[in-house]
Amino acid sequence: MSNTAPFSEDRIPVIVGIGEIVDRPKDIADGLEPLALLEQALRRAEADSGTKLLGEIGSLDIVNFLSWRYRDPERQLADRLGIKPAHAYYGPVGGESPIRYLHEAAQRIARGECSVAAVCGAEAQSTATKAERAGVDLPWTPFAKDAEEPKRGAAFQKPIAVKLGVFRPVSVYPFYEAASAAHWGQTPREALAESGHLWSTYSDVAAQNPSSWLKRHYQPEEITTPTTDNRLIAWPYTKLMVANPSVNMGSAILMTTLAKARAAGIAEDRLIHLWGGASAEEPRDYLIRDQFFESHAQNAVLKAAIDLAGGSGKAFDAIELYSCFPCVPKMARRTLGLGPDVQPTVNGGLTFFGAPLNTYMTHAACAMVRKLRSGSKLGLLYGQGGFVTKHHALVLSRQAPKATLAQETSVQAEADRNRGAVPDFVTEANGKGKVESFTVLYGRNNEVEHGVVMMRTPDNARALARIPSTDRATLAHLLDMDRTPVGSTGDIVTAEDGVLEWRVG
């Protein structure tokens, strides 16, 4: 990666302030809107820095909102703060975006384009949902109906994926869950136990985080066992294994130059340095990927982070592995060379800390700063967006880096180099189909709606097939806890509506 900026104190970016706010209004109408949460978080970040830097912000990045829609939110926030940043950006959907914005803001400082930068995000989905259900008109900035609706999962997927219900994160990540477990030689029971243990570890940290939404420890069995309150959503995921977006939260990170921080008298042990990081992506349409037991983009990004740490994932003593669904940190910790006893979070995870949609990693960055200030030496922030699609990692430290911040972050070429042949995708087939991966979708009463198998046809094309809820034999085969169905073969048939179905042989 190329270095272009001079290595001087007025080009060295440091994080100097963090701010978070959690809003739990007693009355729905008293709930704060996302813009108000952003403003509060930024003012708290300034207070944390002990400076008066807000008025000098030259770079402002806002993570995409999904709970409320604004017209030009970056301009509206700047007006609230009384600033006119040269760079003011409101970005697209993506859970990795806070890490990317932090990295890009640091690069702007390293290029000398600005001396103060802020990254912030907020959501008020809990209040917005409660207000809609109760018929309460919120006294917020009017909802911008004419603002462009952000593109999400279905916009990038094939019609058959949408028809079969496998176009949302909760129903797509199970394909990685099943395929990776089979690749690692795990039975479904063993894979579920690993997920429960990992998620219980996240809940431990959330229970001790003052900003988390759910502040209690969950046992592994509580997380993985379906109940009325912990219903199955898409096999193998229960409600306690998926992200919880019904929260009201805001967070912000304030960054400046080392020279400016020192001139302001900020103590050295409160300055957090950015060593660098990396980014890469998978194809947006998940059905045109080569396989589902690993992500080449994730691997390339994490290996670049390992290189920055000196060649070993064990060098990180503070880690945040993105946790929308268990397969993501399970794959990541293996790439990092870490064992099942990994401490995967400083923040608490998207289930237990809460998932303010795209901006969880902004909160994780705040938690990482606290962790490093309190004694940890080297931190890894790994964010992910889409359907194992967009990946970004960032290495932070209390120690100054040994080289200037690199301006090139993409490791896409490395990811692409490792990608295997991608099979053709078909919607018509017959004969025998081999299971590549699968999931089963459930209704709110824990009853099966239908199963979905991703399979290879006799000529090795890829197809999606439905398993009706009435096909108990095939469903029992898919849900066998002691033997993975991945790799098994069955009959391909075409239903009356033209959709392929798969039946155990």
Q: Which of 392, 417, 442 is the last residue of a domain?
A: 417
Residue 432: band (very low, low, confident or very high) from pLDDT cuts 50, 70, 90: very high
Instruction: Give the C-alpha distances (Å, rounded to integers) separating 207 from 25, 328, 334, 341, 349.
Output: 21, 22, 26, 18, 11
Q: 268 and 386, same structural domain?
A: yes
* Mean pLDDT (whole number) for 463-483: 98
When mean pLDDT is compared across 37-46, 138-147, 263-272, the lowest value belongs to 138-147
Q: 199 and 318, same structural domain?
A: no
* Mean pLDDT (whole number) for 403-432: 97
Q: 227 and 135, same structural domain?
A: no
Is the previous residue joined to 236 through a cis bond, with omega within 30 degrees of 0?
A: yes
% the chain with pLDDT above 70: 98
Q: 121 and 250, same structural domain?
A: yes
158, part of any domain: no
251, part of any domain: yes
Q: 440 and 413, same structural domain?
A: no
81, part of any domain: yes
298, part of any domain: yes
99, part of any domain: yes
Give the Cα separation of 237 and 334 in Å (integer): 21
166, part of any domain: no
Q: Which of 417, 451, 476 is the last residue of a domain?
A: 417
Look at the chain and report how many structural domains it folds into: 3
Query: In the Cβ-directed half-sphere of 38, how many Cα atoms lie within 13 Å?
Result: 27
Q: What tokens appear for 409 in the block? A: 């972050």
Q: 303 and 279, same structural domain?
A: yes
Q: What is the CATH number of the domain that holds 461?
A: 2.40.50.840
Residue-wise burial string across 82-114, b where 16 or more C-beta atoms lie within 10 A, e elsewhere: ebebebbebbebbbbbbbbbbbbbbbbbbeeeb
Q: Which of 369, 389, 417 is the last residue of a domain?
A: 417
Q: 256 and 231, same structural domain?
A: no
- pLDDT (tens digit per residue) in 249-304: 999 999 999 999 999 999 999 999 999 999 999 999 999 999 999 999 999 999 99
Q: 403 and 257, same structural domain?
A: yes
- pLDDT (tens digit per residue) in 338-375: 999 999 999 999 999 999 999 999 999 999 999 999 99
Q: 220 and 190, same structural domain?
A: yes
* Mean pLDDT (whole number) for 230-234: 98
Q: 327 and 413, same structural domain?
A: yes
Looking at the predicted structure, is the pLDDT value of residue 151 above 70?
A: no
Q: What is the CATH number of the domain that holds 54?
A: 3.40.47.10
150, part of any domain: no
Q: 250 and 222, same structural domain?
A: no
165, part of any domain: no
Which residues form the domain of 489? 431-504
Q: 412 and 274, same structural domain?
A: yes
Give the Cα separation of 388 and 295 in Å (integer): 7
Residue from 299, 338, 349, 297 nearest 315 by CA: 338
What pLDDT score does 249 carry?
Answer: 98
